[in-house]
Amino acid sequence: MDAVLKVAGDLATGLWREFTYILPYLAFGVFLEAVIRTFKWHVKIRKALTRYGSLSILFATLLGVMSPLCACATLPLVISLLVAGLPLAPAMALLVTSPLMSPASYTMLSGMLGLGWANLVLFCALFLGLFTGVITHLLRNRGFSEGEIFREKLPAGDFHDPDYPVEKLRCECGQQLSHRVDRCTHNKFLVFLARFWEGAVRIGKFAMIGLVIEVVVSMLVPNHWIVALLSGEGIWPILTLTFATIPLHLPQVTAASMIFGFFLPEPGELIPLAKGPGIAMLVGGPVTALPVMGVFLSMFFKRVVLLYLTLCVSGTLLLAFIFRLIPLPF
């Protein structure tokens, strides 16, 4: 019993120490996302996507990096935009960039891994969104037009309607606290507080998952080989991490929390995270979330899923190999 209590105490101590360090960055990121959601800036950009042709790829990429939505929340949005006439290319760009970057992700990456890594992941998200969108656009007449991607025709209607017949696409946002507050009060400040609470719970959950995994692994598995993998400058660490993270549900905040915990830098200290393995984990992991893949397989033809995975993995490897050779000062 004493041994169990000691292990539990060490686990709690480690979690508390790491959580208190990331808390200010978590709070600031959630604040930014709550402001964006309260004033619905991302919705205004989203409405413009169906009107600008090929330029929609750029707008979708920008929307993805500023949107507070995670991959699982973005997929129903993407499908609704496809039903409304959005081409597959900007839809893919949005689906790729959304899990890679958000205001909260940027602030937490800055706090945990440094501003250099936050800017690098932001660049990777923008590149991967444009890369995916342009390649998909070039393949549009080869079985990837809007009328050739769904397994079956979706019924018309609003995904926000509680009676929409496709349950897996039915949006439950009307039940969220912020929507109930908005309907009852129409007070922007109260809506902001509700959205702040929702963001804190959602993003804090993913951060804590990463910290728990890291602390448990560090206690049970020798830490040196994991750090060696993340610090490795060769090709094999990149390939290992890229393909190992494909089957994992690894949101951006979770991946960053795990890396931060493995290195545990002192305030202001640069961590020896190699560019290639870092990109493989921070970019490759979030874009292949299992829940998204499950809905993807059920809604789209297999060729669409294969295209998505191929572009995500090839784009990640391309970025990892390129930045492995570029001497960046962090």
Instruction: Look up the pTM and report it.
Output: 0.78
In a domain, 289, yes or no: yes
Kindly state the percentage of the chain with pLDDT values over 90.
Answer: 15
- What are the backbone angles phi and psi of residue 160, rounded to the nearest 5°? -80, -10
| Tally of domains within the chain | 1
Which pair of tokens denotes residue 190?
């109260």
Q: CA-to-CA distance for 302 and 93, rounded, in angstroms?
A: 18
**Closest CA relative to residue 111, chosen from 28, 33, 31, 30:** 28
Question: Whose structure tokens read 């940027």?
Answer: 106
In a domain, 251, yes or no: yes
Q: CA-to-CA distance for 131 and 290, rounded, in angstroms?
A: 22
- Per the structure, the complete domain to which residue 68 belongs is given by 2-325
Q: Torsion angle, CA of 312/317/318/320, rounded to 10 degrees?
A: 120
Which CA distances in Å does 313 have to 60, 110, 197, 227? 20, 25, 34, 23
In tens, the pLDDT along 39-85 reads 766 566 566 666 666 678 888 898 888 876 666 667 767 777 777 67
In tens, the pLDDT along 285-295 reads 888 766 666 66
Which pair of tokens denotes residue 51?
């009107």
Q: CA-to-CA distance for 284 and 125, rounded, in angstroms?
A: 10
Can you say how many angstroms the Cα of residue 210 is from the centroid of all Cα atoms in its chain? 14
In tens, the pLDDT along 293-330 reads 666 777 788 888 889 889 999 999 999 999 998 887 76
- Residue 246 banded pLDDT, cuts 50, 70, 90: confident
- What are the backbone angles phi and psi of residue 300, rounded to the nearest 5°? -110, 160
- Residue 128 banded pLDDT, cuts 50, 70, 90: very high
pLDDT surpassing 80 at residue 234: yes
CB atoms within 10 A of CB 43: 13
In a domain, 108, yes or no: yes
Question: Whose structure tokens read 């539990």?
Answer: 8
Report which DSSP code applies to 175. G
The predicted model gives 167-177 an average pLDDT of: 62
- Residue 124 banded pLDDT, cuts 50, 70, 90: very high
In a domain, 330, yes or no: no
In a domain, 297, yes or no: yes
pLDDT surpassing 70 at residue 175: no
Alpha helices, H only, the chain? 2-39, 41-48, 56-66, 71-83, 88-97, 103-113, 115-138, 177-185, 188-220, 223-231, 236-244, 252-263, 275-279, 290-299, 302-325
Question: If you average pLDDT over every residue of the chain, what do you get?
Answer: 77
3-state secondary structure of 122: helix
